[in-house]
Chain A
Amino acid sequence: MNKRSSLLQRFVAAPYVVWSVLFIVIPLIMVIYYSFTNGDGDFTLSNIYTLLEPEYITLFLRSIAYAFIATIICFILAFPLAYFIAQTSPRTQKTAMMLIMLPMWTNLVIRTFSLSNIIADEGVINTILAPIGLQINIIDSPYAVILGMVYNYLPFMALPIYTVISKLDKHVIEAAQDLGCNKRTVLSKVVLPLSKSGIVSGITMVFVPAISTFYISAKLGGTDGRLIGQEIESAFMSSADKNFGSSISLVLMILIMISIAIMNKFSDDDEKGGGMIL
C-alpha cells in the first residue's frame, strides 16, 4: 500500500521534476558556469571584479533603492485599500478585486508603454493641464520609474493582503474593540499584526520583480533612471557578452535571496512569539 502510493506520488511529481531540472537547475548551473569563465571557457573572476567598479555598484544600489521605495509606496497604498475593500459587502468585494486585477490582463510592456505616453512631456496629462498653465515633467526621471513600478506591481501587494484581511475572524476584531481599542488601535494592534503573512508575501512579490526590471526603467527612466536589469539585458542582447550578463544575474540573485531571507526572518520571529496562523 505504502509502496504503491509512493510510486504514484513519484509518477505525479515526475513532470514537475523534469520541468525543474530543464528550466531551473540547468539554467542556474549555466549562469554560475558563465559567471566564472571568459569567452574561451577559462576560469576567471574578472566578471565579478568588474561589478565592483563604482559604475555598477551605483546601478545595484539604485535598483535596490528604487525597488525598496516602490515596495513601500505599494504597501502604503495597498494596505488601506485592501482593508477598506474587506469591510464592504461580498458583492462589492468581488467587483473591487476584479477592478484591481483588470490591468493585469494587459501585458506589462503594453501597460508601461501606455504609461509613458500618458506622462510624456507632450503626453495626455500635460495636454489636459496645458490650458491652466501646469506642466508635469517626470518622464525620464527616477520618479517615472518608481511610478511605473508602483503602477505595475500594486495588485501583487493588494491581493495577498486582501486575502488575509478578508479571512480575519471578525470576532477577534470585536474582542479588540470590546477591550478598549478604537478604530486606529484595532488596526495597529490586531489587523496589522494578523495580516503580516499577507504583507510579507506582498512585499516579496513587489520587491523581487521591481529590483530586476529592465523594461520599466528603459521606457520611463532615461539615463538617470538606468537600473541593473537593463545592464543584464544589454550584456546579453547588444554586447552578446553572456559571461558578464550571467555574473550580474548571479549577484542580483544573491541580493534577492538575502532580502527574502531577511524578510522571512521577520515573519519567523513572529511565529515563535505568538503563533501566526498561515
Chain B
Amino acid sequence: MNNLEHNALLRLQNISVKFDDDQILNDLSLNINEKEFVTLLGPSGCGKTTTLRILAGFVTPDSGDVLFEGKRINDIPPYERQINTIFQKYALFPHLNVYENVAFGLRVQKKSEEEIEKTVHEMLELVNLKGFDKRNINSLSGGQQQRVSIARALAVKPRVLLLDEPLGALDLKLRKDMQNELKGIQQRLGITFIYVTHDQEEALSMSDTVVVMNGGKIQQIGSPLDIYNEPENAFVADFIGESNIIDGVMLDDYKASFAGRVFDCLDKGFNKNEPVDVVIRPEDVDVVPVEKGMICGEVTSVTFKGVHFEIIVDINGFKWMIQTTDYEPVGAKIGLFIEPDAIHIMKKSEYSGMYGDYSSFSDELDKLSEITEAEDE
C-alpha cells in the first residue's frame, strides 16, 4: 500500500457523518499523498461525494479529524483551504464571461491586473480554450464549460483539486478525451487530484490509487491493478468489472474446491476447509471441447460485444459469464478450462452470496441500472 502515514498530505481519521438518521460515513480513515491521483469509486449513496465535501470544507464531520499537512482543518472554512473543487454541474458564474470566471479567484485574492491576465491566459491555454476570453458562459457547450471550471479552479494554484464526477454530464467520446486531458494536466502540474466517480473504467484508467466505497465504508484501497486482480470481497469483485463469484472451500494451501471439483490455485494462508468466495473473471476462462474441460455446461445465451462474445454457461445450475472470441451457439455443450492464476480466493464477507451469479443477468437491465445511477448522482 502506498499510503505511508508519515508523508501523507491529507488525512481523514475516523470520520463519521450522519444526515438526519442516515449514517453517510462510518468511521472512515484515508491517507492521501502529495501529487497522487486518488479516485473514490462506488455506487450512488456510498458516501464518496460527502467525503469530497468534507475535504472541501462544505460538510463538517460529526466525529473524526481532517488533517492537512498534519494540521487539523475541521474548522477551517472552505475559503481558507488550499483545496479547490470542480463541481459536477460546473457551477460557473453566469453573470461573468469566460475570462472573468477564470479570473474570479485571483480577483478575490486581489492580485494585480497584469498577473491576473497572465494566469488566466495560461490557464485557458492549458484547457485548450485560447481566445474564448470574451465568450458568454451560456454560449459554451458542456465540455467547454467544464474546461472553464477546470481553468477557474487551477488559476488559484490549489495544492489539492477535488473533482466531483466532473465528466458525468458529457457524452462518451468527449469523456474519454477529457479523461486523458485531466490526467495530463495532473501530471504536468503535479497537483494532488481526488476524483469521485461511479464509473469503474474511468477510475481504473486514470488513478494511481482507487478507493472503493460502499455503505459509508471503504471496501478496498489499492492500485487499479490490485483492485481488479485482488478484490478484497464480493462487493469489490462485482463492482469492478465482471466476476463469477462462486461459493467454495479452501482445502489446503493452493487447493480450492468449488463447482464440484478441486482446483489448483495460487492462494494460501487460509484455514483448512475454510469457506471462501472464489472469483473468476469472465475473460480468464478458456472454452474447450467437453472432454478436455475441467468443468462443463450448456450455453444459455450469447451476446456479441464486438471484440468478443459474452456467453452465459449453466454449470450445475450456477450461471457463469464467459468472454470468448469463439462463437458458441445457444444449447451447445462446452467445457471450461481454468488456469491456477485465473482463480482468486477471497475471505467470506457481509457481501458473500449477494453478487457474481449471472442467472438473472440481462444486458438491458445492466444498462438501465447504469442510467438510473447516473441520474441519481
Contacts and interface: CB of A to CB of B under 8 A. Distances in A.
Contact of B91 (A175, A181, A189, A193): A175
Contact of B77 (A169, A182, A194): A182
Contact of A177 (B77, B100, B149): B77
Interface in A222-278: 270, 273-277
Contacts of B104: 176, 179, 189
Nearest to A273: B97
Nearest to A276: B95
Interface string B103-123: 011011100000000000000
Contacts of A169: 89, 91
A172 B108 contact: no
A91 interface: no
Contacts of A181: 79, 108
A88 B77 CA distance: 20
A190 B58 CA distance: 18
A198 to B, nearest CB: 13
A180 B109 contact: yes
Nearest to B88: A171
Contacts of A174: 56, 58, 78, 85, 87, 91
A178 B94 contact: no
B138 interface: yes
A190 B105 CA distance: 12
A171 B105 CA distance: 15
Contacts of A175: 85, 87, 91-93, 149, 152
B276 interface: no
A180 B79 contact: yes
Contacts of A185: 108
Interface in A162-203: 169, 171-172, 174-182, 185, 189-190, 193-194, 196
Contacts of B156: 179-180
Contacts of B89: 169, 171
A199 to B, nearest CB: 13
B154 to A, nearest CB: 11
A172 B138 contact: no
A274 B97 contact: yes
A178 B93 contact: no
B136 A178 contact: no
A273 B93 CA distance: 12
A171 B153 CA distance: 14
A178 B255 CA distance: 54
Contacts of B100: 274
Nearest to A195: B95
B95 A180 contact: no
B171 to A, nearest CB: 22
Contacts of B92: 172, 175
Contacts of A270: 95
Nearest to A277: B94
B148 to A, nearest CB: 11
A193 B149 CA distance: 19
A90 to B, nearest CB: 15
Contacts of B58: 174, 177
Contacts of A180: 79, 105, 108-109, 156
B77 A178 contact: no
A178 B85 contact: yes
Contacts of A194: 93-95
B136 A275 contact: yes
A189 to B, nearest CB: 7
A193 B107 CA distance: 16
A55 B58 CA distance: 60
B259 interface: no
B137 interface: yes
Contacts of A275: 94-95, 97, 136-139
Contacts of B107: 189
Given A274-B97, A274-B100, A189 B108 contact: yes
B106 to A, nearest CB: 9
Contacts of B109: 180
A172 B105 contact: no
B93 A172 contact: yes
Interface in A102-149: none
Nearest to B139: A275
Given A190-B93, A277-B94, A179 B137 contact: no
Interface of A: 169, 171-172, 174-182, 185, 189-190, 193-194, 196, 270, 273-277
Interface of B: 56-58, 77-79, 84-85, 87, 89, 91-97, 100, 104-105, 107-109, 136-139, 149, 152-153, 156
Given A171-B91, A274-B95, 7 more contacts: A175-B91, A177-B79, A178-B84, A179-B152, A185-B108, A190-B93, A274-B97
A-B pairs with lowest CB-CB distance, top 7: A179-B105, A171-B91, A175-B91, A180-B108, A275-B136, A274-B95, A177-B78
9 contacts: A172-B94, A175-B87, A179-B84, A179-B104, A179-B108, A273-B97, A274-B136, A275-B138, A277-B138
